[in-house]
């Protein structure tokens, strides 16, 4: 449990609230961890809490009655009650937290577009700065309550009037000499799905890799830096 200076922070608290049988129960939370706990992830409830108290009104500092907790929640134990409040109640977060969540998801969406999308005219990925500028021009609004993945298609529709985007998948054949093959294996695998690979009689490694088109330039940069350009590559298919 993190330290909690109630008087100084009570106006900027992230809370989990549960109303049940006309009674109100509130706890002061670390919002990231509370959301993870609510979604079933393995998080210690002690880490979720900023203060190990159950409040009837957190902003007024009114602590909930243990008798009412026992009667309504079935327990007077603070940690057990906190679990019930997070699981069954609503998580209310500050505007600062909501803004941070929006910014994190905005960056994630931009990264997905950069990594997976290309300019259909050049078949090269859009630079991050160009995507960021398109977000501003299209006045994209990111929803902090939805995952970046769930918002991606809607964002792309809004971006297309100002930024040409196409999502491509490429199959690339790579042949790496024996002296670099072992060093390149992990790097190659991290960029996509290996459709097939073979160790040739001379010790060279031959692989066909399927990857998002937007990663192609980064892929070449990485393996060229390891092999000093001593390799063979060929795009077999773009789809």
Q: 27, 59, 92 — which closes off a domain?
A: 92
> Which strand ranges, in their side-by-side order, compose the sheet holding 90-92?
62-63, 55-57, 23-28, 15-20, 90-92
- pLDDT per residue as tens digits for the range 151-179: 998 999 999 999 999 888 899 999 999 99
Q: Which domain holds residue 217?
A: 168-238
pLDDT of residue 217: 86
| CB atoms inside a 10 Å sphere around CB 164 | 15
Mean model confidence pLDDT for the chain: 91
pLDDT of residue 150: 85
Same domain, residue pair 147 and 181: no
pLDDT of residue 8: 44
Q: Which residues contact 189 (CB under 8 A, 6 or more apart)?
A: none
pTM of the model: 0.64
The pLDDT of 83-112, averaged and rounded, is 93
Residue carrying structure tokens 């040409």: 164
- CB-based burial label for 95 (10 Å; 0-12, 13-18, 19+): exposed
- pLDDT per residue as tens digits for the range 135-153: 999 999 999 888 888 899 8
Token pair belonging to 225: 């830096």
Q: Is residue 3 part of a domain?
A: no
Q: Is residue 145 part of a domain?
A: yes
CATH of the domain at 218: 3.30.70.240
pLDDT of residue 132: 97
How many domains are there within the chain?
3
């Amino acid at each position: 449990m993190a330290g909690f200076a109630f008087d100084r922070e009570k106006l900027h608290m992230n809370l989990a609230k549960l109303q049940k049988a006309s009674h109100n129960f509130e706890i002061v939370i670390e919002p990231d961890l509370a959301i993870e706990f609510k979604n079933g992830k393995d998080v210690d409830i002690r880490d979720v809490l900023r203060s190990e108290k159950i409040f009837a009104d957190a902003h007024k500092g009114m602590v909930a009655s243990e008798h009412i907790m026992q009667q309504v929640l079935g327990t007077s134990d603070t940690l057990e009650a906190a679990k019930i409040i997070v699981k069954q109640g609503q998580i209310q977060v500050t505007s600062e937290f909501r803004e941070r969540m929006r910014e994190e998801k905005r960056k994630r969406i931009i990264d997905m577009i950069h990594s997976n999308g290309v300019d259909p005219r050049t078949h090269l990925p859009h630079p991050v700065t160009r995507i960021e500028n398109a977000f501003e021009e299209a006045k994209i609004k990111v929803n902090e309550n939805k995952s970046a993945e769930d918002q991606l298609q809607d964002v792309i529709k809004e971006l297309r009037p100002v930024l040409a985007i196409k999502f491509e998948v490429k199959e690339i054949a790579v042949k790496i000499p024996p002296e670099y093959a072992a060093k390149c294996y992990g790097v190659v695998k991290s960029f996509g799905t290996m459709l097939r690979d073979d160790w040739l009689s001379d010790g060279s490694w031959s692989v066909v890799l399927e990857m998002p088109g937007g990663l192609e330039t980064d892929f070449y940069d990485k393996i060229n830096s390891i092999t000093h350009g001593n390799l063979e590559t060929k795009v077999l298919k773009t789809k």
